[in-house]
Structure 1
Amino acid sequence: MTTTHPSIGHLIGYGRTSTTEQEAGLEAQRRDLLATGCVKLFLEQASSVGKRPELERAMEYVREGDTLVVTKIDRLARSTINLWDVVRALDEKGVSLRVLNLGGETVDTKSATGRLILNIFSGFAQFEREMMLERQREGIAKAKAEGKYLGRKPTARLKADDARKLNAEGKTPTEIAKALGIGRGSVYRALEGVGKAEG
């Protein structure tokens, strides 16, 4: 089904929350985008690192003279480089980008000042993310050095030997699953070829 585009020069909104965030976050973005005057919205719950079909649709939909509006930079881009890829793609279509909350200000790439501010803030955001990752790595290294880092909990695959051992003792898959805290399907996979997976 084709979507009819309104007359040139409209505000088109894009909103995103991650798959782990609450619906309320998306609803708040919808409210802010509509209050700004957006005539069409593209909203989705999607990871910033995965595919974002609604963003792709929004990028295809906008026309020369339009402005793509987002509430925050991190709703749109996953890095400074990614942000400028989006801005460049919009520029090629004659479309500007407006960010409603960038350090408490609304910034629009139609102006040179807006582009400069966007560049500075996105650079800070990228730096902050990299610092956070660095602190996380340092924390893990310190915990490992102190013998406190446990890492992830053992997966069902790591418990396969235990499952086979319990099966050899005559336990049923249901009993094994309960004892090891894994699903029955994982037990059956661990016992493939053993020939005693009954019950």
Structure 2
Amino acid sequence: MQTLLFNVLGSFAQFERDLIVEHTTKGRERAKKQGKRMGRPSKPEKDVKQALKLYQERGTNGMSVADIVKATGVPKSTLYHKTKQT
């Protein structure tokens, strides 16, 4: 009897979770159709370019990546991603 009750409650929980995922997906698709952007806003391009310049000159300016991140406010992941692109 306990196993049956456990399985029934588990089935309801899974059903509820599936409904939540479905509603979230529909809402996200509707927002994208309306032109809304998802995720964190990006840093201004001038800040990213300044960070890249400091990164490329770190041999002469003595700045570490942590120093560049603090000075420009550009996340470390963005800095590394942009350096791989160039």
TM-score by length of 1: 0.28
Letter in 1 for 2:4: L
**Residue 118 in 1 paired to residue 11 in 2?**
no
User: CA offset at residue 189 of structure 1?
Assistant: 8.4
Letter in 2 for 1:143: A
TM-score by length of 2: 0.55
Greater relative contact order (Cα 8 A, min sep 6): structure 1 or 2?
2
Question: Which residue of structure 2 lines up, in the alignment, with residue 128 of structure 1?
Answer: 16
CA distance in 1 between counterparts of 2:81 and 2:32 reads 32
User: CA offset at residue 140 of structure 1?
Assistant: 1.0
Letter in 2 for 1:116: L
1 or 2, which has the higher strand percentage? 1
Change (3 A) 1:188 1:116: closer
Change (3 A) 1:145 1:188: closer
Q: Deviations over 1:141-181 (max 9, x none)?
A: 11111111323555xxxxxx6332x338x79543x423133
**Residue 180 in 1 paired to residue 68 in 2?**
no
Moved over 4 A (4+): 170-173, 185-192
1 or 2, which has the higher helix percentage? 2
Instruction: Name structure 2 gaps, 5 residues minimum.
Output: 43-47
Query: Please, what is the CA RMSD of the aligned residues?
Result: 3.7
Greater C-alpha Rg: 1
